[in-house]
Chain A
Amino acid sequence: MRKFSLFCLMLLTVLALTGTGVWAQEAAKPETPAVAPATPQPEPATPQPEPATPPPPAAEPAKPATPEAVKPAAPAPAPAAPATMSKLEEVIAKTPVGTGKGQINPEAPKGYMGIPGAPSHFWLWYILWGTWVGWIFSSVGAFGGIMAGVGHISVFGLSDYAKGFRQTNPTLNKLLTDSIRTSNQYLVGLSAFISSFTYWRMGRLVMPLGLCLAGGGILAGYLVPLFTVGKLDASTYVGFFGIIVFAVAFVLFYETTEKGQASRKAARAAAKAFEDAHIKKGGEASAEQLKGVQVISWGLTRIRFTFYGAEFSFNPIWPILGGFVINGISALIGVGGGFLYVPFLTSVAGLPMFIVAGTSALAVLIGMIVNIFNMMVVRQIPVDFLLIGTELIGIAIGSVLGPMTSKKIPEVWLKRLFVVLAIYVGIGYLTKGFLGQSIFPGM
């Protein structure tokens, strides 16, 4: 069964990647013109060192800073030179030159993605913001992804910078917007990838359910970039982001209400009562238990399986739709996605946690591979890897700090704090995105 699962996973992934590549050929062709195999000469203008020994750093420390040294594409044959310009360089070249709003001054210091005059911050700020995001992830949970997005949109000023080109160069506005959401995807998606993979290895898999979820996710992973890459301006993106923040605020708020707290207490009490009455210690597994998940029937309208003797069934359309919506949000906004599968399957479909973890992880893995591959390799959305790398360092630090501090602050108060923050950010982004001006400062 495990080999079969692996085979299906690989097959789906290969199909998805191949499909994405073929579908996106038209989009990719003009943007990434092929160069002759010998052209990608990585040799810089620096003198060749002896192959056996690395060059001493003191001998030629400053040379790679020269444009010729850091851009190995430059020595390409003259006729090919304009064609080797990247998507970003092409768009920048079409932007009016000047120092005003919506203009680029080539003499200005280079900032985000090397764009002259773009926002740029000292690297420590990126690490500090990442630490905040990591702390939230490890103490509150889902809101960490939102905060990663807030960092790119507001704290580092990328959204306002992109918005400045709305009139002068809408293509740059949209390219920067795509870059922001792809950066969110990298930051949250890559990390969730490992986590999901670990759960997938330890979990149990309901193959038909995983395939339905993954199928919906792949469809969204293809359709959403197809209809939104290069078409979504910064304001609209910020507005959509605000809607998602509101949804998270609503969930967090519900968990802090009396009803939400009571429901949690009741669940804990019921589980405790059952534990006291039935807990088994070190019992032998029965033959029925050893069977695990057993698929009884596959149908277009209903798929049935048993797990530990209890029968479960679902209509395949729901996980397909669920996979589509969840991965669609992830592809559109750059946050969300993976973590929504588990509550969807346990709360909406009522499936046991024991099999949900492994099954959802399959969908997460495939969805993320498709999303990231599509944005990164096929559509070649440029991102600032220095920003992402330093933020990831911060998130890792925050993951250690979170457990140290979370026990000192009551969980319900942490959630209340983030409800207020989420409402502030949600309203701020909604008004900024759809009304043109945020009613709150700092957005």
Chain B
Amino acid sequence: MRNVLYLLTGVLFGIALTKGEAISWFRIQEMFHFDSFHMYGIFMTAVPVAALSIFTMRKLQKRTLDGDLIQIPDKKFHRGIIPGSLIFGFGWALTGACPGPIYAQIGSGYSVSIVTLLAALAGTWTYGVLQKYLG
């Protein structure tokens, strides 16, 4: 069952986010104040490790468990990228959490983060309602 594998990958991702303190509000403020290398170190190792492993898999024409070739569709630039990302950044500074960490905070026992999640769902739903005006 593939879904169990996705769940286990999520467990690994969640433990790394939590133990790496990337879900910590304190670490996020420290990052935005450029007071420590910690969070930048996480990004600056996560991105090259992902890039190198994905590049190698594609170079070797490694297939997925279902036997398909790995496909990565291009992300297209759209006019929501800059305003949307800025707005997300505002929220990230306040909650100290981007979407992955919201889930990990809930698991860590910060039950009030369920409200953060519900508010994020309300935000996503509101974007859905306003999408035709925002493009």
Q: Are chains A and B native binding partners rather than an unrelated pairing?
A: no
